[in-house]
Amino acid sequence: MNEVFKGRLAILGMGYIGLPTAVAIATRGIDVIGVDVNPATVAAVSRGEVPFIEPDLAVGVSGAVAMGRLTATTETPEADAFIIAVPTPFNEDRTADLSYVKAASEQIAPKLKSGNIVVLESTSPPGTTEKVAEWIGALRPDLKMPRDGENGTDIFVAHCPERVLPGRIMIEIVTNDRVVGGLTPKCAEKAASIYRLFAQGEILLTDAASAEMAKLVENAYRDVNIAFANELSLISESLHIDVWEVIRLANRHPRVSILSPGPGVGGHCIPVDPWFIVSAVPGLARLIRTAREVNDHRPHHVAEQVVEKAKKFRSPTIACLGLTFKANVDDVRESPAIEVVGLIAKALPDTEILVCDPYVDTIPKLLSGYGNLRLEGANQAVERADIVVLLVEHEPFKMIKHTRLGGKVVYDTRGAWRQQANV
Ligand code: SAJ
C-alpha cells in the first residue's frame, strides 16, 4: 500500500500534458523518456526547449534535460511504466478518434514485460482503457492482461485523466487531486504509485470507466455553465440589459456562481469532450448537447453583431483583438476568436480588418485565405479602427486605456473593459 514508483518511465506524446508530466516526474529523480512521432518536437525537447508557451514549463524542461533525467526519442523504448498522453480529437460524426491512442498502445505492446504499468491519460470515452488492454493483448498473447473479477495480470492498465488548466499547468499538475481508475483495483494501486511521486493533491482510486466518465463530466459541467452564461448574454441583449451587471449581482447570492459569457468556447477539450458523452448516449444527453450547440453558435452571433455595427459606416476599419482560444495562452486550437474573425472577413470582404494578438505572430492558417485581414500591433490597430472588437482578454489588452477607445464603436465580448468605463 502507498507504494511509490521506482524505475524508468516512458511518456508517449510530448504535448501540453505529456511534457509537463515528464518534467514533474523527472524532477523527482526518475528517468523519463519522452516519445513523440514528431521529430521536431523530439529535437526541441532534447535541446531542453519547449515547442509551445506554458508558464514555468521551459525552465522545468531545460532543468530536467540538463540533469540528464529527461530525454526524448521517436522510438518507444523499454521501460517499467508507460503513460499515454496523445490527442483524442473527434471524428466528423463527433465520435472519438482513438487512432492515436491505438497507435500508442501498439507501439508500447512489443516493449512490455511482465509487471509493467500502462496508464492512459488522454481524455477518452468510457471503455477506452479496456480497449488499450485489448489492443495490447492482441499483439502480446503471451502476456496476461487485466480482466475484471480475474486474479493476476502481467500488465497493470489504468486511466488517470489529466485535469490541468492551460496557463496554470505547472501549478495544477502538482496541486490537483488525481483520479486513478484501474481495470482492476490492483491496476489502480500500481498506477497511483506513479502519481505519488509528484501529486500533492489527493489520489482517488476507482475503476477505469468511472475515471473516464468523471473527466468527461468535468468538462461537460463547465461547458453547460458557460452555455448558461452565453444564453444569459443573448437574453440580456434582447432585453437591453447589461449581462455583466446581472451576473455581478446574481453572483452575490451565496449559492450562485455564474461564469462569463464570451465569443464561444474553444480549446482542445471543452468543445470536444462533451460530445463523447453525447455519442455514447445520444438520446439521454439532451442538456449537454444543447449546451454544445449554444456555445458553438456564439461565434456566429458575435460576428453578426459586428457586421451590424459595420453597417453604420461607409468604409470602416475593424480591429479584432485576440486570436487564441482564451486569455494569456498561445494556443489557437478550436479558437472561437479565429472563427469570429473568419466570419467577419467573409461577410465584409471589402472591409479592412486588423487582427492583433501578443501570442500570435503569423495569420493562422484558417484565416490565410482572406485578403482583407492584416496582422497589426494592438496600439496601431486600436488607433486606426472605427470598430474595436475585444475577443480575448489578454493582459496587455486589458491595460488599454478607455480614453484611447473614445469615439469608437467598442464591442467587448469578454466584459474586460467594463470595469474601466462604460465602453
Ligand atoms: N470560457 C468562457 N467563459 C468562462 C470560462 C471559459 O467563455 O467563464 C471559455 C474560454 O475562453 C475558452 C473555453 O471556455 O475558450 C475553455 O477555457 P477554460 O479555461 O474553461 O478551459 P480549458 O479548455 O483551458 O481547460 C479545461 C479545464 N476543465 C475544467 O475546468 C473543468 C481543465 O481543468 C482541463 O484539464 C482541460 O479542459 C482539459 O484538458 O480537459
Dihedral of the alpha carbons of 232, 236, 237, 241, in degrees to the nearest 10: -150
Residues 147 and 47 occupy one common structural domain? yes
Q: Determine, yes or no, domain membership for 119.
A: yes
Q: How confident is the model at residue 421 (pLDDT cuts 50, 70, 90)?
A: very low
Last residue of a domain, one of 155, 174, 201: 201
Measuring CA to CA, which residue among 307, 310, 295 is closest to residue 263?
Answer: 295
Residues 187 and 301 occupy one common structural domain? no
Ligand 1 atom 22 nearest Cα: 165
Residues 267 and 395 occupy one common structural domain? yes
Predicted pLDDT at 152: 86
Q: How confident is the model at residue 423 (pLDDT cuts 50, 70, 90)?
A: very low
| Pairwise CA distance, residues 346 & 216, whole Å | 34
User: Is the pLDDT assigned to residue 12 strictly greater than 50?
Assistant: yes
Note the pLDDT tens digit of each residue in 332-361: 999 999 999 999 999 999 999 999 999 999
Note the pLDDT tens digit of each residue in 63-109: 999 999 999 999 999 999 999 999 999 999 989 999 999 999 999 99
Please tell me the pTM assigned to this model.
0.95
SS (H, E, C) 207-224: EHHHHHHHHHHHHHHHHH
Instruction: For residue 215, indicate whether it is catalytic.
Output: yes
Ligand 1 atom nearest residue 260's Cα: 8
Joined grid coordinates for residue 178 = 488525481
Predicted pLDDT at 331: 93
| Pairwise CA distance, residues 135 & 109, whole Å | 8
Instruction: For residue 131, indicate whether it is catalytic.
Output: no
Measuring CA to CA, which residue among 82, 75, 80, 61 is closest to residue 16?
Answer: 61
User: What residues does ligand 1 touch, defined as CB less than 6 Å away?
Assistant: 123, 162-166, 218-219, 222, 226, 259-260, 262, 265-267, 269-270, 325-326, 336
Residues 291 and 185 occupy one common structural domain? no
- How far the first Cα of the chain sits from its last, in Å, is 59
Residues 152 and 265 occupy one common structural domain? no
Q: Determine, yes or no, domain membership for 263.
A: yes
Q: Could you tell me the distance, in angstroms and rounded to a whole number, from the CA of residue 175 to the centre of ligand 1?
A: 18
Q: Determine, yes or no, domain membership for 211.
A: no
Ligand 1 atom nearest residue 172's Cα: 33
Last residue of a domain, one of 201, 229, 249: 201
Q: Could you tell me the distance, in angstroms and rounded to a whole number, from the CA of residue 352 to the centre of ligand 1?
A: 31
DSSP-assigned letters across all residues of 237-296: HHTT--HHHHHHHHTTSTT-------S---SSSTTTHHHHHHHHSTTT-HHHHHHHHHHH
Q: Determine, yes or no, domain membership for 209.
A: no
Predicted pLDDT at 419: 63
Residues 178 and 222 occupy one common structural domain? no
Residue with cell 475577443: 391
Q: CB-based contacts of 57: which residues, under 8 Å, 6+ apart?
A: 19, 20, 23, 50, 169, 170
CA distances from 182 to 155, 169, 408 (A): 11, 24, 57
User: Is the pLDDT assigned to residue 272 strictly greater than 90?
Assistant: yes
Note the pLDDT tens digit of each residue in 190-210: 999 999 999 999 999 999 999
Q: Determine, yes or no, domain membership for 398.
A: yes
Q: Which CATH number does the domain housing residue 70 bear?
A: 3.40.50.720
Residues 115 and 226 occupy one common structural domain? no
Q: Could you tell me the distance, in angstroms and rounded to a whole number, from the CA of residue 48 to the centre of ligand 1?
A: 28
| Pairwise CA distance, residues 36 & 31, whole Å | 16
Ligand 1 atom nearest residue 326's Cα: 11
Residues 193 and 256 occupy one common structural domain? no
Residues 260 and 295 occupy one common structural domain? yes
Q: Determine, yes or no, domain membership for 418.
A: no
Predicted pLDDT at 420: 53
Ligand 1 atom 37 nearest Cα: 269
Last residue of a domain, one of 176, 201, 226: 201
| Pairwise CA distance, residues 227 & 417, whole Å | 22
Probe residue for ligand 1, chosen from 121, 265, 301, 394 as the CB with the greatest number of ligand atoms within 8 Å: 265
Residue with cell 478607455: 402
Higher pLDDT, 52 or 173: 173
Higher pLDDT, 233 or 418: 233
If you average pLDDT over every residue of the chain, what do you get?
96
Domain that holds residue 13: 8-201
Q: CB-based contacts of 22: which residues, under 8 Å, 6+ apart?
A: 11, 14, 32, 34, 61, 64, 70
Residues 222 and 284 occupy one common structural domain? yes
Ligand 1 atom nearest residue 218's Cα: 31
Residues 177 and 313 occupy one common structural domain? no
Beta bridge partners, 319, equal 354, 388
Phi, psi (degrees; rounded to nearest 5) at 72: -135, 150
Number of domains, the chain: 2
Residues 121 and 229 occupy one common structural domain? no
Measuring CA to CA, which residue among 222, 343, 340 is closest to residue 272?
Answer: 222
Predicted pLDDT at 151: 77
